Structure 1
């Protein structure tokens, strides 16, 4: 028999309560492993019951705890009222359990009614009955091993899940829903029933059914939430998806609150994204206009019936009384056509007869006001969409360029191998190019459908409400379906920084903030071929960088290797006279030799030592200014039969086969001239270099014929 001193029952005045004492002594002397209440009730007023080993309470009557009760297992088939502190390992409740103070348990199995009005903590809860929580329900465990299994009903104010919740029952939530753990509901329902604004901050979450029943709004803050069956927004209620967040609904959306009931928000951080598969969902999709006032933006409508009127046509101080500009690009002409142009062909009504934004079409838009948030209000586009494209322009430079747009409230993936029909587009490097305007760079960026890197911040992900250019090889259509849709990149407006080991991205930036431009060299192709055409900026102050091949100005070239392409010309046009710098983005050490030759400054820079080159540029400069070299013999020619080598002591320039006077220059790897001499032909000249363990470029030039070598001096 256990020692009686292990169990203490203290009355409110320090006296023993005789009835309870007599009852417990009988139990402890005979069983010592459990407390059995089959009578009217057990009442603990202000005292303490402590079980030091494994005590079980079997309650089929009424247990009222107003003190402290610490036991191992509670089996309740009747009524337990806990008004103070109850600590237990396991609660099996098929009756009524009411907690008004503090309850700590390891496992709760509830098939009856469990009412919690204050503090409740349990690593494991199995609920098949009704769980009513008037306080804040927190499912948590420091080791993230908590499991809340609900196949019944949970009524609670706030729900906080920091562990693992399996929720095939019903959740009625009056306050915020916070889940930093895993929440999986495969057959149940979550009802957001608050009367003040509720927030759902979610990690990995799967709902079977989610019902919005709150007129003050429910806001989802999540990038990992999926609804597999039905999202229901009741009449007069509001559901918002926060900017830079997203939601996937693989089932059905029922929006009984019309366009004000479902709002996809947008701000400087990005735009909300929605993956769905229901036609004609009423919605309000916001689009934050970034950048400075009067910046140009490509946009597209994610709804089918938004008028081009109202807030889209704000008044202002322009000559015609407006505060905006809206254009479409007409490929056959080719030209940009202004919305208010009704007199000069092609007029807006002749090529855009509808009053609404056209699904799949791209628009060029600018506002006099800085950073307004516009709204597309209507029915969400969904499913297969086809948009006509043309190749009719007499101007070969822009022939086939069509401005189209993302028609969905989610991003689309230009690299998706399914969902696209692009056979009417020009093939480039085995893929298809698309161009997006970047107001920060004041230039177009380009991305290829089989590439891994784009220019000027353009990535494979085309954001919601984003317009973009494609180039048609013939008249036809571009088709896309839900298979191209993703939630990735909705807020990644021109922020891509990826680079590949077989690529070299070159950027030229204006120091006076006139913008920047990029070109891309891609190696590893079976043959050299032209890549994406260069679309020049219409901002005259913007710098332009481009490549040249097959009589075309390019932003991208596809090349075999650096042996076959040991030097590549880089063209540059300054928009304004001023300072510029070149920077180079590649995997460190990807090219054994990477040199930049500036033909105007007559300098060579080792880009593996210094990947940034500063220079001054002028509008009148020859565009054919730079050469990128990938071989240590920078220029191989037999026009000047000079031999340059290092003999371990001196640099030798053998001019015995050269008849004329020759200019000899020696550069360090920063492009600085360390020696410059004029030497006669018909002899060998030797030059002592004091700084050892360094690489030098030696150039011999005679009457426009020259040769050069990169030498390691040791």
Structure 2
């Protein structure tokens, strides 16, 4: 009794019975991570209300800046007050028409000289110039914790966005949190603010790092995993107002050892794309393919784009909705995904294949530019282009196929080789060399027609409207062309 215990950053303690706290208990944190504790039984003792749980937060890389770095945090104890925070701390009010990136709108400054009690499960935005370690002092949160969220239904893009946080002094399994029946009122995505630590002098890569059941993608290269750290705040989108719940069964001893979980690892094919400006402003998106996904919006596998970078935003499109993660069924031979971007200033840009997961060498990944009428094989090339400031939703299409469209970009192809007649019911290919092989594929990868030419022209009548890929090859060339058949 009366002894002190400090749990170092990165270490975990699981108490199978009752925990009696008569002395000092400190959960340490540094730049490597946080300590965690899980108590299966009751918690009591003379010093139960004075437990210290630390949370390390980084500072800006630009010491001349006074704007600092923003972090989203949440108290893992009950009874902590705003005195724990730096000079600038904010809460976000979804019911106030606002912009999440506008500090003067729905954000409310709470460091006003009075000690305000911090609420378990609520997220707080803090701003600090120098690295520091926050100390939350109070009683360890345990048991089921309800967290209210709102959707003010005002018809604004900001409807439903709420900042919440992990209320426990241990990690939480994000999959168990998202799939809990009580939490079906939110989309299945967690958004983490990923500051570029420039202190406002650059803001080139800051954005919301996004996680859902299909994977994660981050604006600053930091991608979250399926475990929410202790003290971490994040954003969710509520479809309606109501209460979310955190349960003891969602806790994990560390970021990988759940107390109880029946979940199986999903097999997911992933394609990560990155768009970069000439002054190194970056943004990313993820295309995922898995068995459980559909071509419609999937709550667990598709993520709306929450734009945190006013300079550059890169996304895919589904029914004109901007997505940072888009998932599709894995049983297709070909995919075509519309891509879009928002940029603040005109300039030169690049789009590249940043990385892939579980994509074999037989997959071909092409970027189609409808303005220049070119296809670029992103497996081995980076696409460069110029663009004016503003929004574009109809310039780029990403094609993922099981076959090669061409050995060269379409800019090298004689566009007179393929001609689509005006009635949109058939194609006529002219100027063919003898023994040219012709193959026509639909967007599901099915070959609808194959032939070998014995004369200089080829005509084919289509049964259905749609988008088709035509491949023409012989010993001298291998070219491809996309055609759109639409009755007029």
TM-score by structure 2 length? 0.70
**CA distance in 1 between partners of 2:387 and 2:35 (Å):** 42
Q: How has the CA–CA distance of structure 1 residues 418 and 626 changed in structure 2, closer, same or farther, with 3 Å as cutoff?
A: closer
Q: Does 1:443 align with 2:199?
A: no
**Contact 2:177/2:183 (8 A) holds in 1:** no
Q: What is the aligned partner in structure 2 of residue 669 from structure 1?
A: none
Q: What is the aligned partner in structure 1 of residue 394 from structure 2?
A: 624
Q: Deviations over 1:121-164 (max 9, x none)?
A: xxxxxxxxxxxxxxxxxxxxxxxxxxxxxxxxxxxxxxxxxxxx
**Contact 1:289/1:372 (8 A) holds in 2:** yes
Q: How has the CA–CA distance of structure 1 residues 615 and 275 changed in structure 2, closer, same or farther, with 3 Å as cutoff?
A: farther
Q: What is the aligned partner in structure 2 of residue 454 from structure 1?
A: 216
Q: How has the CA–CA distance of structure 1 residues 373 and 510 changed in structure 2, closer, same or farther, with 3 Å as cutoff?
A: farther
**CA distance in 2 between partners of 1:630 and 1:409 (Å):** 43
**Contact 1:279/1:381 (8 A) holds in 2:** no
Q: What is the aligned partner in structure 1 of residue 325 from structure 2?
A: 556
Shift of 1:595: 1.8
Unmatched tracts of structure 2, length 5 or more? 62-67, 197-204, 257-264, 411-417, 439-452, 461-471
The 3-state SS of whatever aligns with 2:69 is coil
**CA distance in 2 between partners of 1:313 and 1:526 (Å):** 43
Shift of 1:513: 4.1
The 3-state SS of whatever aligns with 1:483 is helix
Q: Deviations over 1:201-234 (max 9, x none)?
A: xxxxxxxxxxxxxxxxxxxxxxxxxxxxxxxxx4
**Contact 1:512/1:579 (8 A) holds in 2:** no
**CA distance in 1 between partners of 2:429 and 2:292 (Å):** 34
Shift of 1:462: 0.8
After alignment, is 626-635 or 295-304 more displaced?
A: 626-635
Q: What is the aligned partner in structure 2 of residue 279 from structure 1?
A: 43
Q: What is the aligned partner in structure 2 of residue 256 from structure 1?
A: 22
**Contact 1:584/1:612 (8 A) holds in 2:** no
**Contact 1:424/1:475 (8 A) holds in 2:** no
TM-score by structure 1 length? 0.49
Alignment equivalent of 2:427, drawn from 631, 641, 652: 641
Q: What is the aligned partner in structure 1 of residue 415 from structure 2?
A: none
Q: How has the CA–CA distance of structure 1 residues 537 and 337 changed in structure 2, closer, same or farther, with 3 Å as cutoff?
A: closer
Q: What is the aligned partner in structure 1 of residue 150 from structure 2?
A: 390
Q: How has the CA–CA distance of structure 1 residues 386 and 656 changed in structure 2, closer, same or farther, with 3 Å as cutoff?
A: closer
Q: Deviations over 1:17-58 (max 9, x none)?
A: xxxxxxxxxxxxxxxxxxxxxxxxxxxxxxxxxxxxxxxxxx
Q: Alignment length, in residue pairs?
A: 404
Q: What is the aligned partner in structure 1 of residue 254 from structure 2?
A: 488
**Contact 1:422/1:479 (8 A) holds in 2:** yes
Q: What is the aligned partner in structure 2 of residue 568 from structure 1?
A: 337
The 3-state SS of whatever aligns with 1:288 is strand
Q: How has the CA–CA distance of structure 1 residues 586 and 507 changed in structure 2, closer, same or farther, with 3 Å as cutoff?
A: farther
Q: How has the CA–CA distance of structure 1 residues 414 and 372 changed in structure 2, closer, same or farther, with 3 Å as cutoff?
A: same
**Contact 2:288/2:327 (8 A) holds in 1:** yes
**CA distance in 1 between partners of 2:294 and 2:434 (Å):** 39
Alignment equivalent of 2:238, drawn from 452, 463, 472: 472
Shift of 1:486: 0.6
User: Higher relative contact order at CA 8 Å, sep ≥6: structure 1 or structure 2?
Assistant: 2
Q: What is the aligned partner in structure 2 of residue 370 from structure 1?
A: 130
Shift of 1:381: 0.8
**CA distance in 2 between partners of 1:522 and 1:388 (Å):** 33
Q: How has the CA–CA distance of structure 1 residues 589 and 554 changed in structure 2, closer, same or farther, with 3 Å as cutoff?
A: same
Q: What is the aligned partner in structure 2 of residue 514 from structure 1?
A: 281
Shift of 1:623: 4.0
**CA distance in 1 between partners of 2:224 and 2:276 (Å):** 17
Q: What is the aligned partner in structure 2 of residue 580 from structure 1?
A: 350
**Contact 1:500/1:586 (8 A) holds in 2:** no
**CA distance in 2 between partners of 1:245 and 1:554 (Å):** 36
Shift of 1:500: 4.6
Q: How has the CA–CA distance of structure 1 residues 348 and 391 changed in structure 2, closer, same or farther, with 3 Å as cutoff?
A: same
Q: What is the aligned partner in structure 1 of residue 164 from structure 2?
A: 404
**CA distance in 1 between partners of 2:361 and 2:291 (Å):** 13
**Contact 1:525/1:560 (8 A) holds in 2:** yes
Q: Does 1:537 align with 2:299?
A: no
**CA distance in 2 between partners of 1:649 and 1:419 (Å):** 53
Q: How has the CA–CA distance of structure 1 residues 375 and 617 changed in structure 2, closer, same or farther, with 3 Å as cutoff?
A: farther
**Contact 1:301/1:359 (8 A) holds in 2:** yes
Shift of 1:302: 0.6
**Contact 1:329/1:336 (8 A) holds in 2:** no
Unmatched tracts of structure 1, length 5 or more? 1-233, 315-323, 491-497, 659-684, 690-694, 707-714
Q: Does 1:593 align with 2:364?
A: yes
Q: How has the CA–CA distance of structure 1 residues 245 and 614 changed in structure 2, closer, same or farther, with 3 Å as cutoff?
A: farther
The 3-state SS of whatever aligns with 2:142 is coil
Let me know the Cα RMSD of the aligned residues.
4.1
Q: What is the aligned partner in structure 2 of residue 504 from structure 1?
A: 271
Alignment equivalent of 1:605, drawn from 376, 379, 403: 376
Q: What is the aligned partner in structure 1 of residue 73 from structure 2?
A: 299
